[in-house]
Amino acid sequence: MNIRFFLAKSLRIPRRLHMIYYICFNRFKFWLNDVRFGSNMRVYNKIYLNKARSSKITIGDNFVFTSGEAFNPLCRNICGCMFTVYPSSRIIIGDNSGISSACLWASTSITIGNYVKAKTPEEAYELNQARSSRIMGGMMWMRLSNARVKTLIDISGLGLDQIEETEDEIRIGAMCTLRQIEQSEAVKKLCGDGIEEAVRHIVGVQFRNQATVGGSIYGRFGFSDVLTAFLALDTYVELYDGGRICLAEFAKKKPDNDLLLFIVVKKKKRQFRYDSIRQTKTDFPVIACSVSREKANGQETWYFAVGARPMKADLIEKKWSVAKDASLEKIEEYAALAAAEFKYGTNMRGSAGYRQHLAKVLIKREIMSILSEEI
């Protein structure tokens, strides 16, 4: 038994040496890039560090950053990064903070005070009630704001990174990544290629390995492909305090300090399609549309969701009976009626009129695709 114990311990030596090497290497790397850091900084494994000239990154004592290659058994085994965009950008991290595989991308400034790894949903919810607290998900969109975070709440240990399938529904944990739903067989069986199509243009695989479904839904961003796609399905969200509510209702709510736990998709037989228009392959969408059809008790119901208008996605429902052999003119009429019910705005990517025209075109394509499918 003692020999086995000794051999088991000896197998950990290469890993330990690997950790020690990267702790020293990353301290040197941070020093070369003029990052100010306190005592006992430990950055395990590789980290992408891109610091704009004259920008500032300041880190307090006892900072820990776990990054990839099995250093994150409770999180995602991918490399994290610190990125300052402009000379005026700032990242300030206080004492006794720790981060797991996150992307800190500052266009203006990010200030993080205390770090707390929540042990229960109740603890995370209570901590999040303070205005200066923030839930740490994939942290991919923190760069969109001038963030001052007194308490950073890590929910990676709450078991919310799994996709569970039951007889009636699919439960997607809020910490599941976009890559997980892109590759999920359960999601694909229910939604076809629709969800994969919705996320495949979102930056790149590495980004989708970090960005979380919960962050995409909870953020309710106008450009969100994920929100647009799930709206056309029979989708609900489970909140710690608010319980289970339908996604369409949640999307219209004002942001609050509740904790999103799960995204739940009911297993209803809906034919589902998603499409979007982008100026470049990985850019935000100019317009995004999802369409689904459900037949139940002799009644045919169509669901249309349009996002990136550039406002956040909205949903309408129509009790239409569209014949399988409907003429192109009739389908165009349905598409025009659906597209006209949404409001559109103008920004650098397109005018309101242009967006409405694109929405009509995409909805027509999706209706035609659904009608051509044998069920």
Q: What is the pLDDT of residue 149?
A: 76
Q: What is the pLDDT of residue 319?
A: 96
pLDDT digits (tens, 9 = 90+) for 95-145: 888 777 777 888 888 888 877 889 999 999 999 998 888 887 766 665 445
- Report yes or no on whether pTM surpasses 0.85: no
How far, in Å, CA of 163 to CA of 232, rounded?
A: 20
pLDDT digits (tens, 9 = 90+) for 278-334: 999 889 999 999 999 999 888 999 999 999 999 999 999 999 999 999 999 999 999
97 burial class (0-12, 13-18, 19+ CB within 10 angstroms)? buried
> For residue 173, how many other CB atoms are within 10 A of its CB?
22
pLDDT digits (tens, 9 = 90+) for 37-71: 999 999 988 888 999 999 999 998 989 888 765 44
Q: Which tops the pLDDT comparison, 8 or 124?
A: 124
Q: What is the pLDDT of residue 229?
A: 98
Is 80 exceeded by the pLDDT of residue 158?
yes
Q: What percent of the chain has pLDDT over 70?
A: 91
The H or E element that residue 331 is part of is helix 328-340
Mean pLDDT of 265-270: 94
Contact yes or no for 152/114 (Cβ under 8 A):
yes
Q: What is the pLDDT of residue 349?
A: 93
Q: What is the pLDDT of residue 95?
A: 83
Sheet holding 103-106, edge to edge: 47-51, 80-84, 103-106
Mean pLDDT of 357-363: 98
Domains of the chain plus CATH, in order, are: 15-154 (no CATH), 163-371 (3.30.465.10)
**pLDDT category, 239, cuts 50, 70, 90?**
very high
Q: Which of 139-153, 247-261, 336-350 has the lowest mean pLDDT?
A: 139-153
pLDDT digits (tens, 9 = 90+) for 13-23: 787 888 889 99
**pLDDT category, 375, cuts 50, 70, 90?**
low
Phi-psi region at 39: left, alpha or beta (left = phi > 0; alpha = psi -120 to 50): beta
Q: Helix, strand, or coil here: 352? A: helix
**pLDDT category, 84, cuts 50, 70, 90?**
very high
How far, in Å, CA of 67 to CA of 186, rounded?
A: 29
In terms of residues, how long is the chain?
375
Is 60 exceeded by the pLDDT of residue 183?
yes
Mean pLDDT of 268-285: 93
How far, in Å, CA of 1 to CA of 291, rounded?
A: 62
**Side chain identity at residue 18, one-letter code:** H
Cα 22 to chain centroid distance, Å, stands at 29
The H or E element that residue 81 is part of is strand 80-84
Question: Strand locations in 248-349, DSSP E?
Answer: 260-266, 270-278, 285-296, 299-307, 314-318
> What does pLDDT average to over the chain?
89
* Residue with tokens 């000896």, as numbered in its chain: 10
The DSSP symbol for 110 reads: E
Q: What is the Cα Rg of the chain in Å?
A: 23
Name 74's Cβ contacts closer than 8 Å, sequence gap at least 6. Answer: 100, 156, 157
Q: What is the pLDDT of residue 77?
A: 54
Contact yes or no for 235/217 (Cβ under 8 A):
no
Q: Which of 27-36, 111-120, 225-234, 345-354 has the lowest mean pLDDT?
A: 111-120
Is 50 exceeded by the pLDDT of residue 30?
yes
pLDDT digits (tens, 9 = 90+) for 102-116: 778 888 888 888 778
